[in-house]
């Protein structure tokens, strides 16, 4: 497990170069075969792709430092992540209990394999359009969305995802994404959205309690929402 992190951090090694090449091929294959956000990610992982640059190296460390600090300082006992990815980011996490959920089964299979010896982490695949947890069987102190919101290109998927995210959170929601509307040309799997107005309109009893601006252009902003009684 540790080896994988070291390889991911050291892109000077030949193994890391092979990983990068596989990732590039995976992204290319998925882009060519693009049909919708879910199949994009399934195809990308099946073709050897990864969760992306934001889940590796310095960006992953930046995300982990912020979230691990928050978990520690806020006494968060359990974390649920919607869109957990291939597990590379998770290698840096310090969470007491964790459930990772993703629409892409190949990513979840990688996580199950990588964390086979870790009894504090559970994983499951779900279909966001065919998911309703009205009785709140799945919930945790903190619900996480890291580098996912700007990949929800379909309106109904965005809506269902945001509802599932807030529904699963007992105390906090953290969204790591830019809060802006923009659809970059030639990137069909990316659509930036202004999600804070959606939260104001659609979920009651929550407030934006912290905004941590991105330190560099390619990073995202941390938005921490807290439940208000
Ligand atoms: C850029 S990766 C980020 C992975 C991880 N959160 C991280 O920070 O390393 C985006 C992930 O979101 C997942 N995803 C895309 N649409 C989703 C949805 N509607 N619900 C849950 N996960 C989704 C993809 O399969 C992919 O694994």
119-168, pLDDT tens digit by residue? 999 999 999 999 999 999 999 999 999 999 999 999 999 999 999 999 99
The percent of residues in the chain predicted with pLDDT above 70, rounded, is 93
Contact 33/39 with Cβ under 8 angstroms? yes
What pLDDT is recorded for position 30?
A: 67
CA 110 – CA 136 distance, rounded (Å):
26
Nearest to 85 by CA among 99, 102, 68: 102
H helix runs in 10-104, sequence order: 14-32, 37-46, 57-73
Q: Is 125 helix (H, G, I), strand (E, B) or coil?
A: strand
Burial code (b: 16+ CB inside 10 Å, e: under 16) for 47-80 equals bbbbbbebbbeebbebbbebbeebbeeeebebbb
Residue 38 CB partners (closer than 8 Å, separation 6+) = 103, 104, 127, 128, 157
What pLDDT is recorded for position 12?
A: 53
Atom 27 of ligand 1: nearest residue by CA position? 85
CA 79 – CA 173 distance, rounded (Å):
10
Counting ligand 1 atoms within 8 A of each CB, the residue from 50, 148, 150 with the most, and so the one to mutate, is: 148
CA of 102 to the centre of ligand 1 (A): 6
First-to-last C-alpha distance (Å) of the chain? 41
CA of 146 to the centre of ligand 1 (A): 8
Nearest ligand 1 atom, CA 37: 16
What pLDDT is recorded for position 9?
A: 45
Average pLDDT, the chain: 91
147 or 9, which is more confident: 147
Q: Is the CB of 83 under 6 A from ligand 1?
A: yes
pTM over 0.85: yes
What pLDDT is recorded for position 27?
A: 73
Residue 11 has pLDDT above 60, yes or no: no
pLDDT tens digits, one per residue of 168-204: 999 999 999 999 998 887 788 899 999 999 999 999 9
Report the 10 Å Cβ neighbour count for 212: 15
Contact 146/176 with Cβ under 8 angstroms? yes
Q: Which domains does the chain have, with CATH numbers?
A: 54-227 (3.40.50.150)
Q: Is the CB of 128 under 6 A from ligand 1?
A: yes
Q: Is the CB of 147 under 6 A from ligand 1?
A: yes
Q: Is the CB of 87 under 6 A from ligand 1?
A: no
β-strand pairing of 222-227 with 79-82: unpaired
């Amino acid at each position: 497990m540790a080896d994988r992190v070291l390889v991911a951090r050291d892109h000077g090694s030949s193994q890391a170069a092979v990983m990068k090449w596989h990732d590039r091929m995976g992204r290319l294959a998925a882009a060519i075969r693009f049909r919708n956000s879910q199949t994009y990610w399934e195809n990308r992982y099946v073709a050897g792709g990864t969760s992306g640059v934001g889940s590796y190296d310095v960006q992953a460390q930046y995300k982990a430092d912020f979230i691990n600090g928050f978990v520690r300082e806020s006494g968060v006992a359990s974390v649920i992540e919607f869109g957990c990815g291939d597990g590379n980011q998770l290698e840096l996490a310090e969470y007491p209990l964790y459930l990772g959920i993703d629409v892409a089964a190949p990513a979840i299979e990688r996580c199950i394999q990588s964390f086979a010896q870790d009894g504090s982490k559970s994983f499951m695949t779900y279909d966001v359009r065919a998911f309703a947890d009205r009785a709140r069987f799945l919930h945790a102190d903190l619900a996480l969305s890291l580098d996912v919101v700007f990949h929800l290109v379909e309106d109904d998927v965005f809506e269902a995802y945001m509802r599932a995210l807030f529904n699963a959170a007992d105390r906090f929601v953290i969204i790591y994404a830019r809060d802006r509307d923009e659809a970059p040309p030639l990137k069909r799997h990316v659509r930036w959205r202004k999600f804070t107005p959606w939260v104001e309109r659609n979920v009651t009893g929550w407030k934006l309690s912290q905004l941590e601006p991105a330190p560099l252009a390619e990073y995202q902003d941390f938005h921490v929402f807290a439940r208000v009684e």
